[in-house]
Structure 1
Amino acid sequence: MASVDVPACPVCGELGVPILYGLPTRVAREAAAAGKVRLFGCVVPPEPDQWTCSQNHTWRAGDDETLIAAIDAAMGRG
């Protein structure tokens, strides 16, 4: 799995976990069960958050490339 520099939570400083929206695949459910991604459902807000932490803070980092790389790595595609 490729190493990705994920952003730290702006509130508590913990490392972020990428948020996935939409109907999850089997692989996405397995990644969520392992704590590699968080599933946020099928309703995508107009300005969706990209990251969450274990304290349930959510935020946008604005770096889509890092987000995509983290999701790919979590799902075994990176």
Structure 2
Amino acid sequence: MANVPVCPVCGERAVPILYGLPTPVAREAAAAGKVRLFGCVIPAEPDNWTCPQDHTWQADDDQVLGAAIDAALHRD
């Protein structure tokens, strides 16, 4: 996906963060490095992106985030 952001700290390609109880498809996507699972406790202002260096941040483009999650979970 071309619009996926890069980390503002290290410049690595971002991976969307998923909160909540993961489905089997989400677990498979996480094992493949397509999403990161952050558990069931959602902070008041949750970050929605992370990178391979474990930096996390919030981005305001919900369409890009949604499209990245859909692609990672093979939802069309």
TM-score in terms of structure 2 length: 0.96
**Partners in 1 of 2:62 and 2:43 — Cα distance?**
16
What is the 5 A alignment of 1:1-78?
3-78=1-76
Q: Partner of 1:66: helix, strand, or coil?
A: helix
Instruction: State the identity %.
Output: 74
Compute the RMSD of aligned alpha carbons. Answer: 0.8
Higher RCO (Cα < 8 Å, 6 or more apart): 1
1:67 aligned partner, one-letter code: L
Q: Partner of 1:18: helix, strand, or coil?
A: strand
Structure 2, unaligned runs of 5 or more: none
**Partners in 2 of 1:67 and 1:44 — Cα distance?**
17
Q: Partner of 1:15: helix, strand, or coil?
A: coil
4+ runs deviating over 4 angstroms: none
Structure 1, unaligned runs of 5 or more: none
The alpha-carbon deviation at position 4 of structure 1 amounts to 4.4
TM-score in terms of structure 1 length: 0.94
1:35 aligned partner, one-letter code: G
Q: Decide whether the 8 Å contact of 1:4 with 1:70 is kept in 2.
A: no
